[in-house]
Structure 1
Amino acid sequence: MRRWLTAVALGGTVALALTGCANPAGVDGELTDDWAMVSEPTQFVPESGVCLPRWDNSGYFSGYNPLDCAESHQVETVHVGTLTGANADRTSPPPEDSPAARAAFAECDRAASKAVGAEWRGGRLSLDVGFPPPAGWAGGARWFRCDLAEITSLDDPSMVMRKGSLTGALKEGSALAHTCFSPKISGDDVDAMRPVSCTSKHRSEYAGTYTAPDTSYDAFVRNSEAIHRSCRKVIASFAKVPNDSRLAYRTGSIFYPPREDDWEKGDRGVQCFVWISDRDLTRSVKGNGAKLLPVR
């Protein structure tokens, strides 16, 4: 909280009647030159590279309790940025659908992937952005906090308690990384994506993420065929097969879009998965081309 210091003006002149008396040793008789300078009030800014017991986007200093990431925690702050220019000129913290919130999310998006060593959506992770509370914003705070958390599964975004930093968490062989799945399908809907080893029977595999166009959420989800086309392009690159008219005869696709509230914050990352409807695989399709994805 910012504290203001107010000077007190004296209404009259203070006179010392010390006729015939000298000043005591070390006293020069000046009342104004021996006071220590008052430092400028400083604004609270959270730390990067620390962990927090629980996710809390209130931004209040009173609730801020950073931990060493070796201790049990729920989220890790991987970056702290500063809003500038027009994004900092607001009179209150940015709401979810504002340009300022989207600019902050974009910076956090890049910082999170850099921290974990790969696209962060390629694993059981979630990303949230925190801003100063209204009082802090009014006092001049313009920071934003980028918090990563491990989640339960692709279908269950609840944060889990963990020990250890997420730095480098998605490097090759990571237990957090999305690999192969045995989907539970009902008609055209995916009820669940159950993770399995790629050497066991499976029909789906995470291929990568693409960035959706900046439209309204309703317009985005209505055009599912455009999403599938974009995911097939991701799959073609992942499997090393041509992205041509025959691709739809090699593989289907499953996509997981951002939730609507995350879309409003600026998340445009769509997760894409290979989908084989008529047979089981027992190895990864990554880089294996037409051998595993023949035209059928």
Structure 2
Amino acid sequence: MRRWTAAVAVGGALALGLTGCGLPAGVDGELTNSWQPIPEPSPFVPPAEVCHPGDFAETAYLSSYSPVDCTTPHRVETAHVGTFGAEAAEATAPPAQGSPEIRVAYAECDSATSEYVGADWRLGRLWVGVAVPSPAAWEGGARWFRCDVTEVTNVEDNGGTASRTASLRDVLAEPSPLHLTCYAVRNDDNGAIDTMPAEECDEPHNAEFAGVWQAPDIEYPTRDRDWNQFHTECRKVIGRYADVPLDGNLQFRTGVISLPGGAAEWAAGNRGVRCYLWLDERNVERSLKDAGTEGLPIQYE
């Protein structure tokens, strides 16, 4: 009896041992064939549609990256994040400002920012810049560029950056205080334009924003003959804005102020030139949009 009991006990232990070494349902015994490979570490890519408390910087360092909610005070907003193309990506350092790679990026930022704010961003008190990764981030594989937009206090007088507490998304889709309108140009002692502060169009003023001329890929104007081309093209913008004939008499109906961005912006690829009609010493108290020949008569003196 004891042997039988012992035999049964040993047999039970053996059965338990075999059960412990068995494979559960659905397990094939291969330890590695279903493991997913560990992904390669990827570089940080900043998101779009976020705001930043500091002023725009051409190089975006991760150490200073501290986005804030756009309802809190900020000076810069990222409208779009793009990726440099293959040729630029092969470089050992981020593209320099004014390089062909930056001009390609700027063109993408120009279009994406205009879509973001609801119209050509040059129609408002806005400025756009391209920010690139730091050299260390580039070495680590970062190939993005940031399209940053900021409100400025006055595009005509190189005004400073404004602090905002609201997003710029669709800000130009409807009439907005950011839209460029009318101005009271003031001349210096030599008759040249000194300042042109904004003015309500129903108040006395002598200048008005008419639109944007998209210049071809030409040199930044430095000589009178360069500026003459800019003024000629801006007069056409003014003529269409005021609904007057684009003929030889246009130059006798209105003066013109042609404002491209600075030389650095031009080198980056900004070819948009803001065009303003200018009545010099005359003042009006209405907008001259679609004013026709009565609103912009030929000035014989």
Q: TM-score range by the shorter chain?
A: 0.7 to 0.9
Distance (whole Å) between structure 1 residues aligned to residue 225 and residue 62 of structure 2: 42
- 1:233 and 2:206 equivalent? no
Distance (whole Å) between structure 2 residues aligned to residue 172 and residue 134 of structure 1: 40
Q: Is the 8 A contact 2:221 2:227 kept in 1?
A: no
> What is the DSSP-based 3-state SS (H/G/I as helix, E as strand, rest coil) of the residue aligned with 1:217?
coil
**Who is 1:166 aligned against?**
168
Note the C-alpha offset of 1:88.
Answer: 2.6
1:279 to 261, 279, 282: 282
Note the C-alpha offset of 1:30.
Answer: 9.8
- Tell me the TM-score normalised to structure 2 length: 0.83
| Runs of 4+ that moved beyond 4 A | 28-37, 218-222
1:188-235 deviation line (CA, Å, top 9, x unaligned): 522111101000000000011112232332557751111110110110
Distance (whole Å) between structure 2 residues aligned to residue 284 and residue 230 of structure 1: 21
- 1:61 and 2:62 equivalent? yes
Q: Is the 8 A contact 1:211 1:269 kept in 2?
A: yes
Q: Max radius of gyration: which structure?
A: 2
**Who is 1:122 aligned against?**
123
209-218 or 273-282, which deviates more: 209-218
53-62 or 204-213, which deviates more: 53-62
- 1:134 and 2:135 equivalent? yes
CA RMSD of aligned residues (A): 2.4
> What is the DSSP-based 3-state SS (H/G/I as helix, E as strand, rest coil) of the residue aligned with 1:284?
coil
Task: Structure 2: state its 5+ residue gaps.
Answer: 1-16, 24-28
Q: Is the 8 A contact 2:80 2:109 kept in 1?
A: yes
1:224 to 213, 224, 227: 227
Q: Is the 8 A contact 2:125 2:179 kept in 1?
A: yes
**Who is 2:52 aligned against?**
52
**Who is 1:150 aligned against?**
151
- Tell me the TM-score normalised to structure 1 length: 0.85
Note the C-alpha offset of 1:163.
Answer: 0.4
Distance (whole Å) between structure 1 residues aligned to residue 213 and residue 34 of structure 2: 64
1:194 to 189, 192, 197: 197
Task: Structure 1: state its 5+ residue gaps.
Answer: 1-21
Question: Counting helix residues as a fraction of each chain, which structure ranks higher?
Answer: 2
Distance (whole Å) between structure 1 residues aligned to residue 259 and residue 191 of structure 2: 14
How many residues get paired? 273
Note the C-alpha offset of 1:134.
Answer: 1.2
**Who is 1:19 aligned against?**
none
Identical amino acids, percent of aligned pairs:
43
Distance (whole Å) between structure 2 residues aligned to residue 88 and residue 188 of structure 1: 50
Note the C-alpha offset of 1:70.
Answer: 1.0
> What is the DSSP-based 3-state SS (H/G/I as helix, E as strand, rest coil) of the residue aligned with 2:59?
coil
> What is the DSSP-based 3-state SS (H/G/I as helix, E as strand, rest coil) of the residue aligned with 2:168?
coil
